[in-house]
Amino acid sequence: MALRKTIRSRRLGKQIRRLRDDAQLSQEKLVELMNADQPNQRRISAAYLSRVESGLGRITPDHLQRIGTVLEVDAEQAQKFDDLRRRADETGWWQEYSDIVTEAVEMLVEIGEDATTVRSYDLAFVQGLLQTRAYAEAVIGNGRAFVAPINVDRMAELRLRRQQRLSGDGFQGLVAVMTEGVIRTLVGGRDVMREQLRHLIDVTQEYPVTIHILPFSAGALPGSDNFVIFEFPHDLDGDVVYVDSDTAQRIYEDRSPVRQCTYTFDAALAQALSARESQVLIREVMEEL
């Protein structure tokens, strides 16, 4: 059954492809081995396997088990495969908002639900995982001209529901780098901004969150896009990057863009204030309001 790609179906397909490549098998050869001694009604095609590896085709438990047998997957790995297969077909809570957000935003939420570590680089606004309700409403209402006023509340609700991942099982941490301009811009007015800065201080004490401020004195910025890098627990998973701009939201899984964003993040982190110095600056800006 062909459905919209989900991050989980894409992850499963990528893991199968990497194991197949490690075994030095073409798609045709893997299919040939899977079909050996199988009746016609249980045979699969290389086209089907290609769709599975791309994340566009859903795989049955039987086919997944046969792939695991051919590729000599151990019991633990086979269980992880099956868990990912099953979860790829589940309806996520974020789909409640599919009528007001893009597919890329839906995928962003799905990525965040499974990722164990997150690194973010933000130039204009506080990272969405760290925003207060009032700040989020101000950003969504004023910064996104294409959002209907009636949808601002629901989009802010979606953003806050995403933040539950900070205390979720298996989550190891968020490292957020944001420019000094982010904490000095009066989004929503002084009261809203003061509350937001206080939240940035509190969240680092409650959750595995580290914040680094890139000061004005650092000079030219190492990159001009806002992005988030997600890491997953599985060895066969690669990092995934979500890039956000006024014109588009994009998901990258290929090595080249992921490597570029990782380089930009590392460069920004190297120029940013330490976590302690960043907290001091945030407090200073808050007291000035």
Q: What is the pLDDT of residues 249-266, one digit of tens each?
A: 888 888 899 999 999 999
Burial tier of 36 (Cβ tally within 10 Å: 0-12, 13-18, 19+): exposed
> Of 185, 165, 182, whose CA–CA distance to 268 is shortest?
182
Report how many helices (DSSP H) and strands (DSSP E) the chain contains, helices first.
12, 6
Alpha-carbon span 102 to 251, nearest angstrom: 12
pTM: 0.80
Low-confidence residues of the chain, pLDDT below 50? 1-3
**pLDDT computed for residue 21 by the predictor:** 87
**pLDDT computed for residue 97 by the predictor:** 86
Record: fold of 7-88:
434 Repressor (Amino-terminal Domain) (1.10.260)
Element (H, E) at 139: helix 133-143
Alpha-carbon span 42 to 62, nearest angstrom: 9
Which residue ranges make up each domain of the chain?
A: 7-88, 97-288
pLDDT tens string 210-238: 999 999 999 999 999 999 999 987 766 77
Strands 117-122, 226-231: pairing kind: antiparallel
Alpha-carbon span 217 to 214, nearest angstrom: 8
Element (H, E) at 286: helix 275-288
**pLDDT computed for residue 143 by the predictor:** 62
Strands 209-214, 173-179: pairing kind: parallel
**pLDDT computed for residue 2 by the predictor:** 39
**pLDDT computed for residue 1 by the predictor:** 36
For residue 56, which phi and psi values (nearest 5 degrees)? -90, -25
Same CATH fold, 97-288 and 7-88?
Answer: no
Structure token pair of residue 8: 């989980």
Q: Which amino acid is at 228?
A: V
- Residue 100 is classified by DSSP as T
**pLDDT computed for residue 3 by the predictor:** 46
Per CATH, the number for 97-288 is: 3.30.870.10
3-state secondary structure of 144: coil
Cα angle value 19/25/27 (rounded, 5°): 95
